[in-house]
A and B are shown apart, each in its own frame.
Chain A
Amino acid sequence: MKNTKNLMDAMVESSSKAVNNWVETAQKAQKAALSGTSLEKNSELYKEWLNNQMSIFRNITLNDDDQKEGTHTAENANTNVEDFYKNWYNNQMAAFKQMTDFNQNLLNAWSNFGKPANEINANFSSINQAWTSIYENWMNTMNNTYNNLSNTMKGGLNKNVFEQMFQSQNVMLKMQEFYAPFQKAMQTGQFNMETFKKMMDPAEYKKNMENMFTSMMPQNNMKEFFEMYAKQMHTMFGNSQNLTNEFKESMDNMMKSFPQLFNADMGKMMNMYNQMSDNLQKTVAPFVKMMAPGKEKERIEASFETLDKIAIYHIKNAQLQYLMMTTGQKAVESTMEMVIEKFKNQTEITSFNKFFQEWVNLNEGAFIELFNSDDFSALKAEVTSLSLAIKKDLETQFESQMAVYPFVFKSDMNEIYQNIHDLKNKVKSLEAQLAAVKASTVELEEEEVTKKSTSRKK
């Protein structure tokens, strides 16, 4: 135990030193990038950093006398620690390499950004690209490094807090990336709401919204689902193409229409799906009719019902996400209107943090208004019910498929739980009755004793 404890202390201490060393070096590397001497400086810094890291690790090995004693109980811990350091060391090496590469990329991107923009609109694309490249390089470096580092964090809670903090910082930096070109445009006096709308990149903004509302914006979007669905259906009916032409045709039409469908015309999307689903039913119905009633037929019918629910779920969920996106869009437009107004009145927003806070406040208001609306409430309820119904369907189908095997299923357990609950309540009720009888018996006995003693006294 003592060995392990000392090792842990040493790990914490060296981890702290290594981190400080990393920060210091990263800052030096960034300064080098600024002064335009990054290539030769980076090479020097890299050597210095490597030596420092080596000495930190060597120090632990040399100082940890207890480790050398090597008891059996500490053996596993030692191996784990060695593995830990090996991994940690490799991660640090990789992180530093990313940082040095990044410095060079940043320098390149910066030289683009620094070019004077005579006409903001005309040059916006290159400015924006330069910015995106600066931030993306940086965020990628950070993301990789922190993902690695968070794995070594003590305790689940601390790790979660660190990850959440990093994610929030990411949102903030994304907004900075988003905002900076507009700020640049303002400095040249060529900015207004029209320019903002032309410049805004909805795809980039969408990414940020997804970061903010991870629970409501699943990564697998509808397009992926339909592609998978289409693939399954084509395979399923691959051997009977003549019978399924009508269905295949409507599927193909739907796939072709995807870009238009994603212009938020949910009604059109729903109609198209209904048409496709009708065709599917027509195609499949003759086969299903030919089948004898039984578990197999029930399973096929259940599968089609589930597929239907999945498709409707995705359409409704897309609608929900659309509401979220448009609300986010409105919030950023309001923020920019406020910024432009202040700019016009020469009360310029002097820091990004102030801009960010305004954006956060306007977002909060806009989303609470959305969440409080009848449309959102009804849609959210529908999407929740659909997603859970699908989950339940899939579980039921799983049970049906696996029924021949000696497994205990949830539905079996539910019966047991119900019985246990009822029996417990019966036992408790009987215990209460018994206690009441006992109490009244004791009371009666006490009364008897009192009566007897009173009569004796008389």
Chain B
Amino acid sequence: MKINPSEIIQEMAETTSKLMKSYNTLSQIDEVEVGTTPKTLVYSEDKLKLYRYDRETPPTCKTPVLIVYALVNRYNMMDLQSDRSYIKNLLELGLDIYVIDWGYPSKADRYLSMDDYVNGYINNCVNHICSEHKIKNLNIMSVCQGGTLSTIYSSIYPNKVKNLITLVTPIDFSVNDGLLFRWSKDMDFDALVDNYDGLIPGEFLNTGFEMLKPMMKINKNSGLVNSLDDKDKLLNFLRMEKWIADSPDQAGECFRQFMKDLYQGNKLLKGKLVVGNHKVDLKNLTMPLLNIYATEDHLVPPSATIPLNDAVGSKDKELYKFQGGHIGVFVGGRSQKELAPAVFNWLKKRD
């Protein structure tokens, strides 16, 4: 690399032009939309909304699927853009899909506990769908923290769940592989919940997530400057940014129990977890299980996910290794080509 004045000036002029172009391009783009696959509201309770995705043809898999997403971030990660939508893909393959939208907890929801979420909300949604379809049980497809809650639910109500799919779900919290698992060992969660007045800000959690890959922000933004001519790429980037920024606050009591009993106490795997009036025993989870983990997951490392299969009472259980990261499971090209068909076939076989 030789230094000379004209190159430096040229470089500055180029950077000026690139940034100006980016201003120009961004100015001409309206707010991007995410989660656009059509759906209909079928049930609501407090801030929770249960949606059913619209279908033009009858489903080829008759048992409906309830998607239980994490309380952190929003379910529309699975439906970010129409050409890379995990949900749209499964819908087209023939599933009848319901999804829980947890909404945005406010201070008034600070006392919502894990009992409310598991024995209340999830159970009520399952009852509603079963009642509408006149069936005794349904399929649950659960994601990340939603997977942990669904695993707990399926252990308490095994007769209501026909098949359970868990995606990138933390179960063994004793691991030290991920930074979140490491930091949570030292954190005083009582102080955190009490001093945040019972509502953990989504921004607080996002700051923690950003620290897991400290240079990612610099990297992605520097790269973006060079690809602003590609409008589709920019729109995809904006959709992802929108999803990242859309981070609901967390109801304090549920957060407190989740962090203390699971991240710090690892009580689910130890068989010591109590949710409401129910002691949770993973051996009671006897329905077929498909446990999907991502090899490059920096949020929920494989070591936290894999032990589920050995802990449950199911005889029909499968571990699915996905080559990619936590988010790639839902938005990557491989997810659309490989994972969605694999999930559909697994369910179809057990329908």
Q: Chain A interface (Cβ within 8 Å of chain B)? A: 12, 15-16, 19-20, 22-23, 26-27, 30-31, 33-34, 106, 110, 113-114, 134, 138, 142, 146, 149-150, 152-155, 157-158, 160-162, 164-169, 171-173, 180, 183-184, 187, 212-213, 215, 348-352, 355-356, 360-361, 363-364, 367-368, 371-372, 377-378, 380-381, 384-385, 388-389, 391-392, 410, 413-414, 417-418, 420-422, 424-425, 428
Contacts and interface: CB of A to CB of B under 8 A. Distances in A.
A425 B12 contact: no
Given A169-B222, A360-B215, A392-B195, 8 more contacts: A16-B28, A162-B23, A172-B222, A180-B8, A215-B207, A351-B1, A367-B214, A381-B186
A23 B23 CA distance: 11
Nearest to A165: B221
A360 B220 CA distance: 11
B195 A363 contact: no
A119 to B, nearest CB: 18
B27 A152 contact: yes
A333 to B, nearest CB: 17
Given A183-B3, A368-B179, A417-B107, A142 B19 contact: yes
Contact of A364 (B12, B120, B196, B215): B215
Sorted from nearest, which 7 A-B pairs have the closest CB atoms?
Answer: A168-B221, A388-B195, A381-B186, A421-B111, A367-B214, A392-B195, A364-B215
Contacts of A23: 16-17, 20-21
A428 B196 contact: no
Contacts, number: 187
A24 to B, nearest CB: 9
Among A16, A371, A388, the one with the most B-chain Cβ atoms within 10 Å of its Cβ is A388
Interface string B33-66: 0000000000000100000000000000000000
Contact of A168 (B30, B186, B222): B222
Interface residues of B, number: 68
B120 A428 contact: yes
Interface string B101-127: 000000111111000100010000000
Contact of A169 (B2, B27, B221): B221
Contact of B245 (A34, A160, A422): A160
B185 interface: yes
B13 A378 contact: no
B241 A22 contact: no
B29 interface: yes
Interface SS majority for chain A: helix
Given A384-B192, A392-B194, A187 B2 contact: yes
14 contacts: A19-B23, A34-B9, A114-B5, A142-B16, A153-B27, A157-B238, A162-B22, A164-B217, A165-B221, A183-B3, A364-B213, A385-B192, A388-B196, A414-B198
B16 A26 contact: yes
Task: Name the residue among B112, B186, B242 with the largest chain A CB count within 10 angstroms.
Answer: B186
B187 interface: yes
B113 to A, nearest CB: 9
A391 B195 contact: yes
A425 B31 CA distance: 39
Given A157-B32, A392-B194, A424-B46, A352 B1 contact: yes
A168 B30 CA distance: 23
Interface string B169-196: 0000000000100110111100110111
B76 to A, nearest CB: 14
B3 A377 contact: no
Contacts of B20: 19, 22-23
Interface in B210-233: 210-215, 217-222, 224-225
Contact of A381 (B21, B179, B187, B238): B187
B241 A160 contact: yes
B24 interface: yes
A146 B23 contact: yes
Nearest to A370: B214
A381 B188 contact: yes
A27 B191 contact: no
A142 B222 CA distance: 16
A371 B214 contact: yes
Nearest to B4: A114
B31 to A, nearest CB: 5
Given A23-B20, A33-B9, A146-B23, A187 B3 contact: yes
A81 to B, nearest CB: 15
B27 A16 contact: yes
Contacts of B26: 153, 158, 161-162
Contact of B225 (A169, A361, A380, A413): A169
Nearest to A163: B221
A377 B214 contact: no
Given A23-B17, A368-B214, A380-B183, A30 B110 contact: no
A349 B112 CA distance: 56
A187 B1 CA distance: 9
A421 B186 contact: no
Nearest to A435: B127
B211 A371 contact: yes
B316 interface: no
A164 B188 CA distance: 32
Given A23-B16, A372-B182, A154 B27 contact: yes
A422 B115 CA distance: 13
Contacts of B191: 385, 388-389
B5 A372 contact: no
